[in-house]
Structure 1
């Protein structure tokens, strides 16, 4: 398609958008009385309007049923989390039994490393990407120290090539093969938070497993954003937060995937708790742990129902639409945003450098050469909610559920105005 940087063209794209009605399913903040242009769904998704109904339902049951809500609510609390597994499995490309929801992201990664990071004298190294998200870095370091190992020796980072802004899959695979029999675990962010790059999960998983390592994925920026086939790709485990593209609310519960070959086994090392034991015998208070036959065996405590209610509300939207239409719109709207950036670049003296490779999801990370923080401040004060990263990068993530093509056009005009006025 040949794009045009005009309001009329952007509005025509919106009229042809099969997902356009879903914009009305979300609440937008306002600046100056107008809905903002929201580019930070990669940090916190907007609130679906139906969320309130799901939360109110739990609150009403708590008010009217109290403890009996565990078993007699319309959606009983004791198995509330089970309602999320099937729709989530479709989003991540897994079997329903392989998915559960519990805790928060880094907590779950720690718990999964109990099962999948079992260092020996020979096989003990962890492979991750250079400058992984700080939370992952801290997790790696603390896990390695917990096992009495030296992080400097144990944690191996795959680096970008000099002068490049993204990783090459062949470099990741080469490093995996180089470490070989010393490699215990590959754990990488499926979509890099800074540059928006989508890693080749299938090929990297295959490479890691070929040398005998476990392979897991931090999918915080991937779930609800890119196509995932975790079961078919053979990933051992994965975890993700739910408040970015999944729109479940700030700091909300995390999803977990564990490949079916590890399910319904008592010989898997893990930290265990009451909610991971079989439902049929849970209230018999037996001293022996009998694991649930699915990923719920990794649950420790009972589910935080008030947190899960917004997640279930959002998953209802994903069930209605499905990932293929979301990905189709994502591709088109990101391509249009890229076009608009290049068109504005021709009209101003600054130079925009898009550091996100073509292997991407919703996000474009843009170096604003010659510009400073004042441009970001101008955009924010004019209703463009975006994200600034030092030294002069803005991250733009037009989530397909609620962003419009007109938003992309309007953003371009505000960007040009901010540069030309040199605020």
Structure 2
């Protein structure tokens, strides 16, 4: 027995030491958002698109390269040697340098730069969406954990009531039917408890997915589900959304790009030129010639490409106007949802929960004294459970509405 006692002491000492070496890491919502924005694959892919667009600016700014043509070969005489003399070698070198249209070049570079802004706005859109999803998932995890804790507490209470009823049935104070009902309620509470625990684990897995597994397995969250929400007034939010919403900024940059594309297509109608220089040499002569090659758009003046660019610009402009209106309505909807959730929280915190808790305490005391039956305790327990679930859901809806508003105004921790 002494050896077993010593081994147990060593085991628990080692376990305590291991727990002390690996404390649970707590993260705030902003830290989880920053972590997700750093490692999420969609954000990394959107950032690569920005790099590709920036490389496109380098390509658009490059000057055209000259073309060099070299031709050489022997001369084969067709007349007698007395007339032509000996055979010889000839060589021709031709250099062609395109002269780029400055209006076309300026529009092409501007279009590439506008494409960079489009991709940057798309990157901001991905970031804002991911940050909002992470925030909602964090509060969903807190919601599921609160629900699991509540269902666990109800299960413990049901087990205690079942134990009391079992003793009463054994001494003959209650009928066995009451014990059967209590057993059923305990099994129902156990089922709800297991479902709540599995829902909490599923919410935790969703966070792992959005952060690409960067969170430690035993992480904890510093925030609480009932923390207050502080946002500017609605009029100020309107201004922030119109100035910072990534989708609006992307469409504005895309509209600028389509306008520059129209200018680029119109500038391409102007004549293009190539400067030519040629050097010819054989045994007797050396010839240097220079010239100018001009492409004249006489028959086809790119009418189709210009019209396509004009219609594309109109499409983007109409989409921009509609999305501005629609995003304002989304902001109003999220604001109204937040106000409704706040009102529900005030109602449940202001008296509904307290009244249900008092009713449950009275019913439990009456049950212990034998003045009330199990059904009264069960009814009051269900009323309190429903009220607490509604309060937790109102908390979650409040935080979800705030997250949606922050998504619309691109308010998230910057990298």
Q: Same fold (TM over 0.5)?
A: no
Q: Shorter-normalised TM-score: what interval?
A: under 0.3
Larger Rg, first or second structure (1 or 2): 2
Q: TM-score, normalised by structure 2?
A: 0.18
